[in-house]
Amino acid sequence: MGFSVTFWGTRGSIPTPGTSTQKFGGDTSCVELRVGETVLICDAGTGLRKLGVELMRRSSPVVAHLFLSHPHWDHIQGFPFFAPVYTPTTLLHVHCVADGQERLRDLLSGQMKGDYFPVQFSDLGARIEQRDLLPGPNPIDEVTVRTMRLEHPGTSFGFAFEHEGVKVVYATDNEIDLTFPDPDQVQNDLEAPRPVPEALVDFVRGADLLIADGQYTDEEYPEKIGWGHARATTLVDLAVRAAVKQLAIFHHDPMQSDELVEAKVETCLARARRLGGKLEIFGAREGFELRID
């Protein structure tokens, strides 16, 4: 059956509407994966608002599964504007990583407290159920989900979705480069192969599509060490090592215009060609849909 994938928000950190970001989009993290009737939503950034409109148009009642990488603003701000949660017939499963995201529901509802927002979480009409994701494979309808803790301030979780041998991985807000023994040294030789954590290689291994944080260019990264995001070029090394088929560079920096994102993707394509292999790469852009079979 495979996956239908739609990017509803691809920007990192803060929404960036405007003429210079029209191609890749200004809404923050939200990706929809569909397998048959099952709707899996990765993150509730501002892109979630438009997905909500689409889900209400598509079918009734809305039943969906929400996976939150972590509760930073750019991953939860769309939630109060997600129309299906105001509809009593909606059933929304919020999946939390056991022993890692216990407070997630509190944080999701916390941003709707009276000082911040006019409607309270307790007033939402929909049925919202928290479900725990355990270590190892978690069956959700006909999809199997695995999780991994990523390298990010306050932590972030990645999700690997598998269905009938097809694998899609969503892993954002992850500073792969921080695992270098000496980041300064590696920056002096940009061409050198980048060390990537073995556990991360295992997690994404063989993915038909990897959607991952590639926020920074090589030029930007030295100023942003420890901010919790990857250099896009390091992502290429990870994807090649893990024999990923297609890589979507995601969570674009708010300072990057469409031209800069395009240049970032070009640099990654050149690196992938140099490393060999058949990796396909594209910059995740808002509104883009693809089939993964």
177 binds Zn ion (CB under 5 A): no
How far does CA 191 lie from the centroid of its chain? 27
Say whether residue 175 binds Zn ion (CB under 5 A): no
**Residue 251: CB minimum distance to Zn ion, A:** 6
Among 72, 146, 241, 271, binds Zn ion (CB under 5 A): 72
Q: Residue 171 or residue 209: which is nearer to Zn ion going by CB?
A: 171
Q: b/e string for 200-231 if b means 16 or more Cβ within 10 A? A: bbebbeebbbbbbbbbbbeebbeeebeebbbb
| Least separation in angstroms between CB 215 and Zn ion | 8
Count CB neighbours of 123 within 10 A. Answer: 9
Burial of 37 (0-12, 13-18, 19+ CB in 10 A): exposed
Q: How many binding residues for Zn ion (CB under 5 A)?
A: 4
Which of 32, 151, 162, 173 contacts Zn ion by CB under 5 A? Answer: 173
At its nearest, how many Å lie between Zn ion and the CB of residue 227? 9
Q: Indicate the DSSP class of residue 249.
A: E
Order the strands of the 156-163 sheet from edge to edge: 138-140, 143-150, 156-163, 166-171, 209-213, 246-250, 280-283
One residue of 74, 151, 175, 253 binding Zn ion per CB under 5 A: 74
Site for Zn ion, residues 10 to 29, rule: CB under 5 A:
12
Stretch that binds Zn ion, among 172-180, 200-208, 216-224, 271-279 (CB under 5 A): 172-180
Question: Within 89-128, which residues bind Zn ion (CB under 5 A)?
Answer: none
- For position 151 contacting Zn ion by CB under 5 A, the verdict is no
Binding part of the chain for Zn ion, among 6-14, 189-197, 217-225, 275-283 by CB under 5 A, reads: 6-14
CB 127 within 8 A of CB 85: no
Q: Which stretch binds Zn ion (CB under 5 A): 55-63, 64-72, 131-139, 260-268?
A: 64-72
CA 218 to chain centroid, in Å, comes to 21
252 binds Zn ion (CB under 5 A): no
The set of residues, in sequence order, having a beta carbon less than 8 Å from that of 180 and lying 6+ positions away, is 186, 194, 195
Taking the complex as a whole, the smallest distance from the CB of residue 206 to Zn ion amounts, in Å, to: 26
> Smallest gap, in angstroms, from Cβ of residue 210 to Zn ion?
17
Alpha helices in the chain (DSSP H): 48-58, 73-76, 104-110, 183-187, 198-204, 232-241, 258-275
Residues that bind Zn ion (CB under 5 A): 12, 72, 74, 173
